[in-house]
A and B are shown apart, each in its own frame.
Chain A
């Protein structure tokens, strides 16, 4: 069960980071001169999303063992 939970958490993070990436790409296409700011904020937001997913993965794997 823990492994399934970890998989679902990875799914959620994948969707979340995918959305961040797609919007960042659009924003860069609209405003190529702001690429530095957009990239930094993209990585920062992706890291926050990933953090939530990693919590879920660690908890899922701990519950397993």
Chain B
């Protein structure tokens, strides 16, 4: 049973992962409110020989909000430092053109358009204009403007090529425009930073848990050894502190793999997100699409396993007067959806907030340094920001584990409520 649980735990992660892969294509990046920072400026200056492109200079300096939002968003490449990127594969689909595949390095850091696609702040965008030529085209830069759309100020980007401006379409998101996205002219199924990290976490989970499962086969009846002894602590903890008390002695074994998968999957991607360089650095659980999929899994597992008593308590609560039932039933039905929704928002907001705080503290260096004008200020900012960042990283380490635990324990308590069987002779005190 133990080995079965462990192996299931690992394979479950992969199954979930495929799901993310296909979802992430269009609904990530809810923070499309970037403004240009200095990189763009440099582009416009260096390549501003294209007539009308030179006229649209903005004086933005260091913009802390847009820089932070840009860093917590998903990207089609890994940014190492200025000018150095690790490219990621692209799978782009436009209904009017078909598939475009390649590596994100084919955009030459925003100096080349391929099949109307360009890279803008690490994300692939598409030129919405039909007159823009297909194939590889040199572009002079990307301009940012703030335009009023339906009474709201929105960031609009223009590609500058051959002395003309072409409007850019943002990537598609499934929120229907609520968070600034919407369905645009193309679909992005690429292996982005987030998808890459999801795959990495899944591979790590399979690798680690296969090693642990092998350990249980080898050391049957003996003391655990190696990596097995490290993970047995977690396994026993989840079993004794989460699933057994929350789901109950009778049913907990059935849900142990699911709860374990949730816990370790969230823990691994949270911890990978805390690594500030290449294999990590993606804000995966700080992405609504990912937490949505995780919450939908909990929702499905909870409700597909709901017993008769569970549904009776939702639709027609026994033991209370009729008129209260009329009020209570809509509230109970609503709470059915609020539970996974709060799971989704809690994980997303906690992890995003942690990333935003760390990035803001590091941003103090640039803010105090006055964009390279004030070296003393930059050093002071680096000192203060660095100390606080070290402190925040320790808190984030705790939060990474705590949020995985909270997601697991709340999922277990929802499942526990669904599979619980009431004895109808006992008083209904709830």
Contacts and interface: CB of A to CB of B under 8 A. Distances in A.
A55 B241 contact: no
Contacts of A55: 342, 345
B349 interface: yes
Classify chain B: how many residues form its interface, as a range.
Answer: 10 to 19
Contacts of A40: 241, 245, 409
A50 B245 CA distance: 22
Contacts of A57: 349
- From B241, B245, B406, name the one whose CB has the most chain A CB atoms within 10 angstroms: B406
A54 B348 CA distance: 10
A47 interface: yes
B402 interface: yes
Nearest to A36: B241
Given A40-B409, A43-B402, A43-B406, A62 B179 contact: yes
Contacts, number: 35
A65 B410 CA distance: 31
B67 interface: no
Contacts of A47: 346, 406, 409-410
Interface in A7-65: 36-37, 40, 43-44, 47-48, 50-51, 54-55, 57-58, 62, 65
Contacts of A58: 345, 349
Interface in B135-192: 179-180
B405 interface: yes
A57 B180 CA distance: 18
A54 B350 contact: yes
B210 interface: no
Nearest to B153: A65
B405 A54 contact: no
A54 B345 contact: yes
Given A54-B350, A62-B179, A65-B33, A44 B345 contact: no
B329 interface: no
Contacts of B342: 48, 51, 55
Classify chain A: how many residues form its interface, as a range.
Answer: 10 to 19
Contacts of B349: 54, 57-58
B413 interface: yes
B33 to A, nearest CB: 6
Given A36-B241, A40-B241, A43-B402, A50 B409 contact: no
Contacts of B410: 44, 47
Nearest to A65: B33
B409 A51 contact: no
A62 B31 CA distance: 10
A6 to B, nearest CB: 10
A44 B413 contact: yes
A59 to B, nearest CB: 10
A51 B145 CA distance: 36
A54 B346 contact: yes
Nearest to A51: B342
B346 A44 contact: no
Nearest to A37: B245
A49 B180 CA distance: 28
Interface string B330-349: 00000000000010011001
B106 to A, nearest CB: 33
A36 B346 CA distance: 24
A44 B343 CA distance: 12
Interface of B: 33, 179-180, 241, 245, 342, 345-346, 349-350, 402, 405-406, 409-410, 413
25 contacts: A36-B241, A37-B245, A40-B241, A40-B245, A43-B402, A43-B405, A43-B406, A43-B409, A44-B406, A44-B409, A44-B413, A47-B346, A47-B409, A47-B410, A48-B342, A50-B350, A51-B342, A51-B346, A54-B345, A55-B345, A58-B345, A58-B349, A62-B179, A65-B33, A65-B180
**Closest 4 A-B residue pairs measured CB to CB?**
A54-B349, A51-B342, A47-B406, A51-B346
Interface of A: 36-37, 40, 43-44, 47-48, 50-51, 54-55, 57-58, 62, 65
